[in-house]
Amino acid sequence: MSKIELRGVSKAYGATLALRRGDLSIDAGEVHVLIGSNGSGKSTLCKILAGSVRPDGGEILIDGKPVTITGPRSARDHGIGIFYQELSLAGHRTVSENICLSDMPVTRAGFVDRDALEARAARYVALFASVAGDGFSADTTVENLRADQRQLVEIMKALATEAPVIIFDEPTSALDRAQVDRFFEILRDLKAEGRSIIFISHRMDEIFAIGDRVTVIRDGETVGTERIADTNPAAVIRLMVGTQDELAPTNGAPHATAVARTFVLTLQNLSGKGFANVSFEVAKGEILGFGGLHGQGQSSVLRAIFGVNPVASGEIVLGGKTYAASNPREAIRRGLAYVSGDRGRDGVISGRPILENVTPIHYLRQKLRLARPAALADRVRPALEALHTKFGGLGHPINSLSGGNQQKIVIARWLIDRPDVLLLDDPTKGIDLSAKTDLFALIRKLAAEGMGIVLYSSEDAELLNNADRILVFNGGSVRRELTGADRTRYNLYQAAYEAA
C-alpha cells in the first residue's frame, strides 16, 4: 500500500488551470522525484499536499485512508512537512527559532522552553555543521546569513517537522557541491528510516543520483511514473516533451542574419544578484529568447539591464556606447523599454485613467511638462490601435479592462516614442489567448521594423514560436544557445535540466 496517494487532484486559479489531473503515489522509504517544465503544476501539487493551496477536486489518501487537508497546520497533523522553494523564514529571528517556529516547546507554566528549543534546533544544525560555512550558528539571525545558508535553515526546518512525508521543492538551487552531498546523505538516512521524500530539482544529475522513482507532469497532468534504475535522462525528457516535439515553426524567420548585423545591445560577462557571467548580443531586428526553468536568472538579467537591480560587474554596450545601468529613468532615456509580466508591480498605474497609463514614457522622453489632453490622445490612439486594444474611452480607469488589455496599455506606453531595445520579462503571464496572439504579432512587426527584442517567457511554446535564438538559463548563467533547427522542446528541456 502506498504511504500517500493523490488521485485526479485539480486546481484552477481563475481561468487558468494550474493542475488538471494530478496523480501521484508515494511509497514509504523512497525518494520520489517530480519533474515537469515551467507551469506544469508540480509546485501546485506540492502546495496542495502541504495545505497552503486548497484543491478544487480529487482525492488524497494517506495510508489508504482519504483525508482532507485544510491548511498547513492540518498537513502537519497528517504527517506532511515541506521545504518551500521561496523559503518560509522569519528574517529577524534566529536560526534556532526558525527551526522550531511552528512547534515551539513550552514549559508547564506556558513560557517558551529556551533550553528545549536550543537543544532541538542544535540536533538539526549539527547535521550540517561540516558544510554550513563561516558565520553560521544556531543563534545567528537569519537575515545575516548567505543565500545558501538560508536554504540550509529551510531544510533543517523541514527536517525538524520529523514528518513521515517530507516534500523538498527545489532545495538545492543555492547549495554548493559539498552541501548537496551532505544533504543527500541525510536523505538516504531518512529513507532508511522508512520515510517518504518528494523531491523536485532542476538538475538532472541530482535527480538520478538520489531518486528511486520519477513522476513526470506535463501541462497539469501526470503522464507517467518510472523507476529511475530503468530509465535515463533522455527518456525522461522525452516524456516531458510528449508528442509536442515538432520543429519550431520559423514564421518569425531571422531577419538580420543575411544583412550585416548591427548590434543594438551587447552584454559582456555581466554579473549581479541572481546571475553570473552573462554575455550576449542582440542585433537590430532580432528576437532573442531567454529560456529555461522559471527563476534561473532570466528576469534578474533583464531587470539589471533596465537599471532596477544593481550590476556587480561586467559591461553593457547600448547602441555602440557603453552604458552604466544605474536607474530606469536613465535606461528609458537611452532607448530601452521594459515590460514585465507582473503588471501589478511594474506596469499598471492602478485606478488611473487609460490616458495617464499610456503617456508617462512620452512625458519623460519628450521632457514634456504640460500637455493638452486632446493632442496627447491623438498620439496615443495609433499606439493602442496597433495592438487592437479594446477600451471604452481614454478617460476610463485602467482597472476596468481585462488583464490582456491592461498589458496592451502598458506595452502601448512604449510605442509612442519607439525604443531601440525592448526587454520583455514574461510579458504574457495571466493574459488570454487572443491578447497573446495580438502581442506576438506586434512583437514580430516591431522586430521587422528594426527593433532589437529580448524575450523571456516561461511558456516554452512562445519562445519556440517567436525567438530567432534561445539562450537557455540554468542557475543564473547561460547553459546553451539554441539556433535554427536546434530550437526544439527536447533541446530546451535538456539544457534546462543540465547540471549547473
Partner 1 sequence: MTDATLPTTRPGGLKRLVERYPFLPALVIALVLLALNGFYQPRSVSFIGITGLTKTYLALMMLAIAQTYVVYAGDIDLSAGAIVSLVNVVIVVMMEKMGGSGFSVVAALGLGLATGLACGIVNGVVVAALRLQAIVATFATSIFFTGLALYVMPVAGTPAPAAFWRTYGGRFFEIPFVFYAVVVLAIMLYVLARTRLSTQLLAVGDDAQAAFQSGLPVTRIRIQGYALCGLFAALAAFCVTGDTASGDPLVGGKMTLFSVAAVVLGGSALSGGYGTVIGSIIGALIIGLINSLVFFVGTPSEWQNLVQGLAILLALMAGILVGRRARA
Q: Residue 90 CB, nearest distance to partner 1 (Å)?
A: 4
If you search the block for the grid coordinates 552604458, which residue do you land on?
A: 323
Give the angle subtended at the CA of 89 by the CAs of 84 and 93, to the nearest 5°.
165
Q: Residue 107 CB, nearest distance to partner 1 (Å)?
A: 9
348-352 long-range Cβ contacts below 8 angstroms, 24+ apart: 348/398, 348/399, 348/406, 348/409, 348/410, 349/398, 350/398, 350/399, 351/397, 351/398, 351/399, 352/397, 352/398
Q: Which is nearer to partner 1, 73 or 123 (CB)?
A: 73
The span from the CA of 66 to the CA of 419, in Å, is: 57
- Please, are residues 4 and 203 in contact by the beta-carbon 8 Å criterion? no
Q: Which is nearer to partner 1, 43 or 222 (CB)?
A: 43
Which residues of the shown chain bind partner 1 in the complex (CB under 8 A)?
50, 52, 71-73, 75-76, 82, 84, 87-93, 97, 101-104, 106, 110-112, 141, 157
Q: Alpha carbon of 478 to those of 268, 296, 374: distances in Å?
A: 13, 9, 47
Q: Residue 76 CB, nearest distance to partner 1 (Å)?
A: 5
Q: Alpha carbon of 66 to those of 60, 61, 105, 153, 412: distances in Å?
A: 6, 4, 31, 32, 51
CA dihedral sign of residues 485, 487, 489, 494? positive
Q: Which is nearer to partner 1, 82 or 495 (CB)?
A: 82
If you search the block for the grid coordinates 496615443, which residue do you land on?
A: 380
First to last CA, the chain: 37
Grid cell digits, residue 137: 550558528
Q: Which is nearer to partner 1, 94 or 465 (CB)?
A: 94
Q: Residue 52 CB, nearest distance to partner 1 (Å)?
A: 5
Q: Which is nearer to partner 1, 78 or 469 (CB)?
A: 78
Q: Which is nearer to partner 1, 71 or 360 (CB)?
A: 71
Q: Residue 162 CB, nearest distance to partner 1 (Å)?
A: 13
Q: Residue 144 CB, nearest distance to partner 1 (Å)?
A: 8
Q: Which is nearer to partner 1, 85 or 359 (CB)?
A: 85
Q: Residue 73 CB, nearest distance to partner 1 (Å)?
A: 5
